[in-house]
Chain A
Amino acid sequence: MTLEATSANTAPLTEENTALTETTDQGAAPATSSPAAVPAQTARLQQAVTVLNRLSSAVRSQVLGRDDVIELAIIALIADGHVLLEDFPGSGKTTLAKALGEAIVTPLQEQADDVAAAIVPFRRIQFTPDLLPSDVTGGSVFDTSTNSFHFRHGPLFAHVVLADEINRTSPKVQSAMLEAMGEKQVTVDNTTYHLDKLFFVIATQNPLDLVGTYPLPTPQLDRFLFKITMKHIERDAELDVLDTYKTRRDHSQQRIQVTRSDVLMAREVIDMEVVIARAIKTALVDISRNLRSDERVLQGNSTRSMVLLLPALQVLAALRGRSFVSAEDIETLLPRVLGHRVELAPGVADLGKVLHDCMRDPLEQLARATLQ
């Protein structure tokens, strides 16, 4: 699926969410004004969605014309996944990651323990071939005053980490990243240090400039929830970027912010309250099986990809004002999730078509299941 389709899907829903936010803010709304208002969400869920919307508007105020990417990034953040961006330099990746990281603040009373104190909102790592794992994770440093080693936190200890040009570094560093992304921990000198619960990686790679790179191994690719291929933003949006550059730079302090605990709360609430019906899971399994048995597909998707997908579906459903996952959520997210996981047979180029073919029957069964 192409990005246009995704943006077409998300655009009206974003508006809807805004409407929902306003409804919550005003506290009263006619019951039948909006179609989506009928199967209402619980107050907790609405609260969680409000948090997401605030986060979203915080990032959108900084990054213009990338609403679809922001939406996906926030879904991945809440769904406890990571995002791989394929993009050209200077297209706003860093801005996006920085805005996302800085929108999440930790109130002072929460910074009690040591680990939390060491965690910063945002870190950026530029991956180069001569980078070492300890440059990423941190390392033991000899303290002459205490005559002992103590651990110095590396850049991974942050809410949001931007791993720029991740394919340029050596496999050694990539494997360190692998552990961090998969287990949310780093191990240095046989000591395991836990990363923050919100640990979220936005990795990028340049789709064209491939000389001297180490292509990401499949297991590491499998750890990214989404791989997002971005195109250049719209003309008007680009003009807006230039127009409002100064304003955004100067008023960066008055940003909307959410607290870390809010985000964690949203994650927990959405996980508990958004229902995934058995029919939905059946459809997912059927789609996977179809993909694996399709002769145009060399290697199908892993079971892990489906497991990773479930929370993302929940987040999207919540963002769309629902308390249950629906077929539309699958339609929107599945191409994002499977794009970098499915390997096509030689000569087959159009993953979108393969996916469409494999999704048709299970989704039809899913739609029919509601009448049975």
Chain B
Amino acid sequence: MTIHNAKQDSVLNQLLPSSLRAAIIASSYWVLSLSLTSPSGSVAAFVGCLFSCYLIDGLVNRPPLRDLRLSVIAITTLLILCAGIFLSSVITSSLTVASLLSPLLTYEIGEVLQWFLFAAALTALLRILAHRTGYGRVVEILFVATAFVITLAAHRQGMIHRPFFIGDYALTRGIDPSSILMAMGCGAVLAMAGLLMMENNHRRLPYHFTVLGLLCFSLLAYVQLFGMPSPRLTDDMGLTGVARGEGSAAEQENPFRDGENDASDKEAPVAIVLFRDDYEPAGGSYYFRESAYTEFNGSMLAVTDRDDLDEDLITHFPPVRADIEEPLPLLDKRQAVRTTIGLLAPHRTPFGLDTPVAFQNTPNPNNLRFKQTYDAYSMVPLLEFPDLIGRSAGDPGWTPAQRQAYLELPDDPRYRELADTILQDLRPGYADDPYAKALAIKDYLDRNGIYSLKNEHAYAEDPAASFLFGDLTGYCMHFSFAATYMYRSIGIPARVGIGYSVPASNRAGGSSLLIQAINGHAWPEIFLDGVGWVIVDPAPGRTLVDMSVDPQNSLQQLLGDMLRDEAAFDEFISSQQDEPFPLTVLLQTLVAALLVTLLAAYTVKIYRLRAPQFADPALRYRLSYRATLDMLSALGQRRRYGESREAFARRLSTMTPSFATMTASHLYAALGPSGSVPEGIQAQPRLPPTPDWLALQSRIRAEIGSHTPWWRRVLAFLDPFAWLKTH
């Protein structure tokens, strides 16, 4: 009874850690496969690992597996692994299977097959390594750790909101992704610790696991109570707005920033614009409007989500093409310009050269470089002063609500007072002209304003008022808000245009134009009847910051070529590489060289084996012996360095006794008395020991044949280089 119990105990003792280890490794496969395959593929990987673990643990000390060499096992498992990948690709690429079953089912079958074989083969190799070698267990533990690390690496530095599969899974179901991540981390720690502890003492396993579990639980509790460490701010996503999900555009950020406008990354490229038509701006700057602050939300102007305002702007990237329906007046004073824009930083909405009429997505020539590429069709105004003067403000077709929205401003009488003061000096001829008024106010700001990035208005109740009635020191946002409020206070519909303003000189004669972070800009616009939105951009005469950047003509050229997707870019890239490495040529040469070598080797091998039959009988002692040595060498029987021929023959005497005879004859021929008999002795007939070398050779072959397994003989037959080791 006790014996029976003990036996059962030992079986249990073996089965328990084996199962635990199998479960841990299998779970690491599951985690690893999560991001790479479908759920059924993950399950297949899990099952494949379990299967392989039990198989290897059970069979590792039994004859077929025990007798195999490690290298053979490694090659076999790698072959199985490759076979899985190959089979899977065959199944998924075959039309017959896909049409017999459904395409989805075919895909699933392929994944299941591939992951099952992958997990089974790799686990088998790892388990056998762990059983046979000292370092195998370390490799196994490293593998488990790597599987977890690879999977969780995307979420490092607390990056839980980034759109990766685990985060996605949690976010779409309304679960806090941090819990899932923490749970996975704890799982990883438990798994690793389990594997490590299993290496010697199984008895204290439950105790260790309890302590570990407590540790993990306290960690989880801590996170639940105090939250995860907050992610590091990443401001490398572009300046003019991070691409966000739907609805987030309504969230208003404070457009005013105190001192945060450090110009450290002012040279960062934001977009590249390709001009498809010839165009030079009259005002010296290209304006690209992305959006506008139009609607007064009680404290400041913001991007509107009303349908009846800013109908000339679009709010989202179009799937294919978007035309702006708003009719455009004064077509004879406009020039159609097509530009292709490649975004290097993500943007919320597309932008185009002043007064875009249509956007169309274009194929992205390099999706690693460009976030998005599109064509912007613009009707660029070529308006002179006479075209603008004498027009009334606003559109007569506007509803009162629309007009009201374009005229709303903070409830601050000082705007009107200041505007009136400025307009007092206006010539009487222009006293009622909206454009003249606008220019007067711009002129006031030009003369009195000071451009600076170091300002302290952002947290005032009305930053624009703080700027305008304070130190008049600020940047484009302050100027444009102040101007817009003043325009609105005297009845001119106005808004703040947001986008980029690039000096025309930056184009440097080419057809491409680089937009850099420093070019981000805001400007006031007024609406004139019969013209539309007209930019009246204040340009302060005094500035406290140096906003000049080095022209990046080569980068501009490079990105332009890249966006144009022309051969020039490929040529440029290839010109940058010294010598393109001819990998295919090299491979072909290698293969050819290998084939020639093999052919030559086989030729020599066959020649050396056959030579005794055709050779001069006097040389047979050498050739025949060499052929026999080749034969033995192919079987892995070689004379050791420094070993005498007789000793070698003795070593082989059990396998081929005739070889000793041949060796003796060979040595007699090589070292014994040669043909010339020394003087003095003769009459004694020397016995010329010329055995039948060929018969001897065939006898040795027969002896070898009866002493070696067939597969060894096949290998020996195939070995092309055995003769190289003959000596």
Interface, chain A (partner B; CB < 8 A): 32, 35-36, 38-44, 272-273, 275, 277, 279-280, 322-328, 331, 359-361, 363-364, 367-371
Contact = CB atoms under 8 A, between A and B. Distances in A.
B416 interface: no
Residue among B629, B644, B647, B671 with the most chain A CB within 10 A? B671
Given A39-B665, A275-B673, A370-B671, A328 B684 contact: no
Contacts of B674: 275
Contact of B672 (A35, A43, A323): A323
Contact of A324 (B629, B668, B685): B668
Given A272-B681, A371-B727, A35 B661 contact: yes
Given A328-B644, A364-B641, A370 B664 contact: no
Nearest to B645: A367
Contacts of B668: 38-39, 322-324
B680 to A, nearest CB: 7
Interface string B640-660: 011111110000000001101
Given A39-B672, A41-B687, A42-B684, 16 more contacts: A32-B661, A35-B657, A38-B665, A38-B691, A42-B687, A277-B670, A324-B667, A325-B671, A326-B671, A327-B645, A328-B644, A331-B644, A363-B642, A368-B727, A370-B667, A371-B670
B289 interface: no
Given A36-B664, A38-B689, A371-B625, A326 B646 contact: yes
Contacts, number: 95
A270 to B, nearest CB: 12
Contacts of B644: 326-328, 331, 363, 367
B642 A360 contact: yes
Contacts of A43: 684
Given A279-B671, A324-B667, A370 B645 contact: yes
Interface residues of B, number: 36
Closest 8 CB pairs of A and B: A39-B668, A360-B642, A370-B670, A324-B672, A327-B644, A277-B671, A35-B661, A39-B689
A35 B660 CA distance: 6
B488 interface: no
B680 A42 contact: no
Nearest to A39: B668
B477 to A, nearest CB: 87
Interface string B662-697: 001111101111100010110011110101000000
Contacts of A361: 642
Given A359-B642, A367-B645, A39 B664 contact: yes
Interface of B: 622, 625-626, 629, 639, 641-647, 657-658, 660-661, 664-668, 670-674, 678, 680-681, 684-687, 689, 691, 727
A197 to B, nearest CB: 19
Nearest to A361: B642
B679 to A, nearest CB: 11
B671 A38 contact: no
**Majority-rule SS of A interface residues:** helix
Contacts of A279: 670-671
A273 B677 CA distance: 10
A327 B680 CA distance: 27
A167 B596 CA distance: 70
Contact of A328 (B642, B646, B673): B646
A323 B673 contact: yes
A195 B667 CA distance: 39
Given A39-B689, A272-B680, A367 B665 contact: no
A331 B661 CA distance: 20
Contacts of B645: 326-327, 367, 370
A280 B626 contact: no
Given A42-B684, A328-B644, A331-B644, A367 B672 contact: no
Nearest to A356: B642
Contact of A40 (B622, B657, B660, B689): B689
Contacts of A41: 687
A189 B102 CA distance: 122
Contacts of A40: 687, 689
B699 to A, nearest CB: 10
A369 B670 contact: yes
Residue among B639, B658, B672, B678 with the most chain A CB within 10 A? B672
A367 B625 CA distance: 13
A324 B642 CA distance: 20
B664 A35 contact: yes
Contacts of B687: 40-42
Contacts of B678: 272
B552 to A, nearest CB: 69
A59 B527 CA distance: 136
Contacts of A360: 641-642
Given A322-B668, A326-B646, A44 B626 contact: no
A363 B681 CA distance: 31
Contacts of A331: 644
6 contacts: A277-B671, A322-B667, A360-B641, A368-B727, A370-B622, A370-B625
B569 to A, nearest CB: 63
Contacts of A32: 661
Contacts of A42: 684-687
A241 to B, nearest CB: 31
A41 B642 CA distance: 27
B456 to A, nearest CB: 86
A367 B643 contact: yes
A54 to B, nearest CB: 21
B702 to A, nearest CB: 15
Contact of A370 (B647, B666, B681): B666
B400 to A, nearest CB: 111
Contact of B667 (A44, A326, A359, A364): A326
B673 A327 contact: no
B671 A280 contact: yes
Contacts of B689: 38-40
Contacts of B667: 39, 322, 324, 326, 370
Contact of A273 (B622, B629, B681): B681
